């Protein structure tokens, strides 16, 4: 009997020692992905849409209720494009990312309506529209069929405008110009309407294309001006919004729904806090105002009221043609929300 008691004691001691070697609470790795086009440009996680978000999220991970349970990891240098990031979120390889409606087209072509030229007057107009039943049907479909949940729509990543290497006064001045765009079909539709030559290029090739005169300008948000050295290569700004481009903060739905109540509440608060993004709107307005005045080596086109009207009418026509195959209920929702402005 003493033999068996001794053996049991040894086994118990061994089990206790093995348990001691296992961490009491293994940290869950939460991965955030942003396409490495920003990192390749030398900006990494300091891209305006990423940096404040990362800081807020990491701060809330230190709250006592969840401290030590999660490890944050930025893996933006792994993925080369927004489409790759989306696929990573859908598969669960990544938990959190940013995207734009144009890139959601890979799952449902009707998402192109969100980046239609001239359709939305501003982000508030888009926000009202995306909350209508017709649009929420597409949002819910993303979660149910693609495992992608939209946490927040963000209007702070830019009004996309035209920058050129020559002064522009009329619609005719842009005809024939080679204009870079990001590959989104809505931009190509607008550029074709203005009789330009659309050139789809990744971020990393824009500067060399400007330097070698491969392109004459680009459609871009003004926050990207330093990345492309626009004051040097495309210093003229035409201050008319071609596309008001919202972004969405997305998560892997299965991971999100599997979080315990406390963790999900904390993550929700961290991701939804307006201070993460709202300063960007004010920054954009300031930069547009200063372009051609206090920003060195820059010019701003001064379009007459008649020309401004022509530009907006062409953009609206381009948008209408672009979405002609989109379900009418989506367009009707946008128009109904426009009336509330």
In the DSSP assignment, the letter for residue 177 is -
The answer to whether residue 164 sits within a structural domain is: yes
The answer to whether residue 194 sits within a structural domain is: yes
The order of strands in the sheet holding 247-252 is 70-74, 28-33, 96-99, 247-252, 148-154
Pinpoint the alpha helices (H) of 216-277.
225-228, 230-233, 253-258, 261-272
Q: How confident is the model over 300-323, as pLDDT tens digits?
A: 998 999 999 999 999 989 999 999
On whether both 273 and 231 belong to a single domain, the answer is: no
On whether both 182 and 228 belong to a single domain, the answer is: yes
The answer to whether residue 5 sits within a structural domain is: no
d(CA 32, CA 96): 5
On whether both 147 and 178 belong to a single domain, the answer is: no
DSSP β-bridge partners for residue 199:
180
The answer to whether residue 67 sits within a structural domain is: yes
d(CA 260, CA 101): 29
How many C-beta atoms lie closer than 10 Å to residue 213's C-beta? Answer: 10
For residues 93 and 184, which has the higher predicted lDDT (pLDDT)? Answer: 93
Q: How confident is the model over 213-229, as pLDDT tens digits?
A: 999 999 988 877 887 88
Q: How confident is the model over 110-148, as pLDDT tens digits?
A: 999 988 888 887 778 888 999 999 999 999 999 999 999
How does residue 282 score in pLDDT terms, banded at 50, 70 and 90? low
- C-alpha 76: how far from chain center: 13
d(CA 253, CA 232): 44
Q: How far is CA 11 from CA 3, 59, 243, in A?
A: 12, 43, 69
Once rounded to an integer, what is the mean pLDDT over residues 226-251? 86
pLDDT reading at 36 higher than 80: no
The DSSP element (H or E) to which 220 belongs, if any, is strand 217-220
8 A C-beta contact, residue 220 and residue 165: no
The answer to whether residue 311 sits within a structural domain is: yes
- Reading the block at residue 303, the tokens are 């379009």
On whether both 176 and 56 belong to a single domain, the answer is: no
Return the pLDDT at 250: 92
On whether both 239 and 260 belong to a single domain, the answer is: no
DSSP strand pairing (247-252 vs 148-154) = antiparallel
On whether both 188 and 78 belong to a single domain, the answer is: no
Pinpoint the alpha helices (H) of the chain.
2-21, 37-40, 51-60, 82-91, 123-130, 133-146, 185-193, 206-211, 225-228, 230-233, 253-258, 261-272, 278-290, 305-322, 328-338
How does residue 71 score in pLDDT terms, banded at 50, 70 and 90? confident
d(CA 114, CA 239): 21
On whether both 317 and 211 belong to a single domain, the answer is: yes
Residue 30 class from Cβ within 10 Å (0-12 exposed, 13-18 middle, 19+ buried)? buried
* Residue written as token pair 């009004």: 159
The answer to whether residue 238 sits within a structural domain is: yes
Return the pLDDT at 158: 60
Return the pLDDT at 3: 45
On whether both 130 and 141 belong to a single domain, the answer is: yes
pLDDT reading at 172 higher than 90: yes
On whether both 174 and 235 belong to a single domain, the answer is: yes
Domain range for residue 322?
Answer: 159-244+286-338
d(CA 165, CA 297): 12
On whether both 35 and 94 belong to a single domain, the answer is: yes
- Reading the block at residue 109, the tokens are 């072509």
On whether both 61 and 135 belong to a single domain, the answer is: yes
On whether both 213 and 332 belong to a single domain, the answer is: yes
d(CA 236, CA 14): 74
Question: For residue 169, what are the contacts with CB-CB under 8 A and spacing of at least 6?
Answer: 301, 302, 303, 307
pLDDT, the chain, mean:
82
8 A C-beta contact, residue 241 and residue 160: yes
The answer to whether residue 114 sits within a structural domain is: no
* Among 198, 189, 240, CA closest to 218: 198
For residues 45 and 266, which has the higher predicted lDDT (pLDDT)? Answer: 266
What's the start-to-end Cα distance of the chain, in Å?
A: 87
CATH code of 145's domain? 3.40.190.170
The answer to whether residue 9 sits within a structural domain is: no
**Domain count of the fold of the chain:** 2
């Amino acid at each position: 009997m003493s033999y068996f008691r001794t053996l049991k004691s040894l086994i118990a001691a061994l089990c206790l020692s093995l348990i001691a070697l296992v961490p009491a609470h293994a940290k869950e790795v939460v991965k955030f992905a942003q396409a490495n086009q920003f990192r390749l440009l030398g900006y990494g996680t300091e891209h305006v849409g990423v940096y404040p978000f990362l800081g807020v999220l990491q701060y809330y991970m230190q709250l006592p209720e969840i401290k030590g349970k999660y490890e944050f990891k930025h893996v933006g240098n792994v993925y080369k494009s927004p489409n790759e990031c989306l696929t990573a979120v859908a598969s669960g390889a990544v938990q959190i990312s940013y995207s734009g409606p144009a890139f959601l087209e890979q799952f449902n072509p009707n998402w192109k309506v969100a980046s239609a030229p001239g359709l939305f007057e501003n982000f508030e107009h888009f926000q009202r529209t995306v909350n209508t039943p017709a649009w929420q049907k597409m949002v819910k479909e993303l979660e149910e069929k693609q495992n992608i949940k939209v946490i927040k729509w963000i209007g702070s990543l830019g009004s996309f405008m035209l920058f050129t290497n020559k002064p522009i006064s009329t619609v005719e001045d842009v005809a024939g110009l080679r204009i870079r765009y990001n590959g989104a079909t809505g931009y190509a539709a607008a550029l074709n309407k203005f009789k330009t030559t659309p050139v789809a290029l990744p971020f990393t090739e824009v500067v060399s294309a400007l330097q070698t005169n491969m392109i004459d300008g680009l459609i871009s948000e003004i926050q990207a001006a330093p990345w492309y050295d626009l004051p040097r290569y495309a210093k003229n700004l035409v201050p008319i919004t071609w596309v008001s481009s919202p972004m969405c903060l997305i998560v892997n739905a299965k991971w999100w729904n599997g979080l315990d109540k406390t963790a999900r509440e904390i993550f929700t608060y961290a991701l939804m806090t307006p201070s993460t993004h709202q300063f960007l709107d004010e920054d954009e307005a300031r930069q547009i105002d200063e372009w051609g005045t206090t920003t060195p080596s820059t010019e701003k086109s001064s379009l007459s009221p008649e020309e401004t009207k022509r530009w907006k009418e062409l953009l609206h026509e381009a948008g209408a043609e672009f979405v002609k195959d989109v379900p009418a209920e989506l367009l009707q929702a946008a128009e109904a929300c426009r009336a509330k402005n």
